[in-house]
Amino acid sequence: MSDKSPATVGPLIALPEQAVITLRGRDAIAFSQAQFMNDIGVLADGEWQWSGWLTPKGRVITLFAVLRRDPETLWLMLPDGGAEAIVQRLRGYLFRSKVTIGIDEGLRVGGRFTQASGARGNTFAADGDTVELDLGTGEHARSLVISTGLDALPDDDAIARWRVADLQEGLPRLVDTEREQWTPQQLSLERLQAFSVKKGCYPGQEIVARTHFLGKAKRRLALLESGSPIAVGSDVTADGKSLGRVMSVASASDKHIALAVLPLERPQPGLPGSALMVDGASVIEAPLRDGLAR
């Protein structure tokens, strides 16, 4: 790790919507491996991955980053809040597992639009209770800081730009109405390496594996750009026919974007019948940026 604390390098943006759930105890990793959609077993201490929790029908309840602090401690960083409800639901599956699940109210999350000072790839940098994650390099560099002593003030404009960047890189931001609606494949979460089709059983695993191995994925995530704000739940149409639905939106200044779940088989941009509309307004499909896969 850099000799500079990540909490003191560069301007930090407070991200108050984001929360940290902790799992502590000798069964923390085994419990998480049995519940979450990615392979916790591949993580070493000091590494992280994207993951999520599914319903038995394979629908995404929540997405998060999983950080392995030590053999008995995991942190879950939830971009979209809802931590209290998730904790209560997870506790219902504990049975005799030796795990304590809770929200660390002292931990705060912040971000910066600069390259991480010490973290690289899926290896996070840690200094006590301050942790830094690498969310990209180069032109679209970002880093995330989780700390008990976060020195950052809320900035609505910066928070909006952060959300826009998340969507541009294919990280869906889930409002409550979009939870338990979509499979990992429909949200193109393979781009983030956020789920496993090879590890043992977890809720929804059968649906995820069958879709993968039988090639039954029929829809994927699409990034849309508009000249005006877009509402979650809006229909996406082409040639007067409904194609899919908007499931995540973001706006910053005069930039308005959305993530929609659309069919794989449809006219490609530039071909007849390919022009997309949302609520009567034209939208443009843009490529998702790479860089968040861990």
CATH 3.30.1360.120 boundaries in the chain: 10-176
**Residue range 185-285 in CATH 2.40.30.160:** yes
In the predicted model, is pLDDT for residue 8 greater than 70? no
Looking at every residue in the chain, the average pLDDT score rounds to: 93
Query: What span, in angstroms and rounded, lies between the C-alpha atoms of 207 and 197?
Result: 10
Q: How large is the greatest C-alpha to C-alpha distance in the chain, in angstroms? A: 59
Q: Confirm if 129 and 116 have CB atoms less than 8 A apart.
A: no
Please give the model's pTM, rounded to 2 decimal places: 0.93
In the predicted model, is pLDDT for residue 138 greater than 90? no
According to the model, what pLDDT value does residue 10 have? 59
- How many residues are recorded in the chain? 294
Q: Quote the percentage of the chain above a pLDDT of 70.
A: 96
CATH 2.40.30.160 boundaries in the chain: 185-285
Paired tokens of 49: 């991955």
Query: What span, in angstroms and rounded, lies between the C-alpha atoms of 153 and 127?
Result: 21
* Average confidence (pLDDT) over 151-156: 86
According to the model, what pLDDT value does residue 272 have? 73
- Burial-class residue 253 by CB neighbours within 10 Å (0-12, 13-18, 19+): exposed
In the predicted model, is pLDDT for residue 174 greater than 60? yes
Who contacts 276 (Cβ-Cβ below 8 Å, separation ≥6)? 224, 236, 237, 238, 243, 282, 283, 284, 285
* Average confidence (pLDDT) over 101-117: 95
Superfamily of segment(s) 10-176: Probable tRNA modification gtpase trme; domain 1 (3.30.1360.120)
Q: Confirm if 258 and 229 have CB atoms less than 8 A apart.
A: no
Q: Confirm if 38 and 74 have CB atoms less than 8 A apart.
A: no
pLDDT digits (tens, 9 = 90+) for 218-229: 999 999 999 999
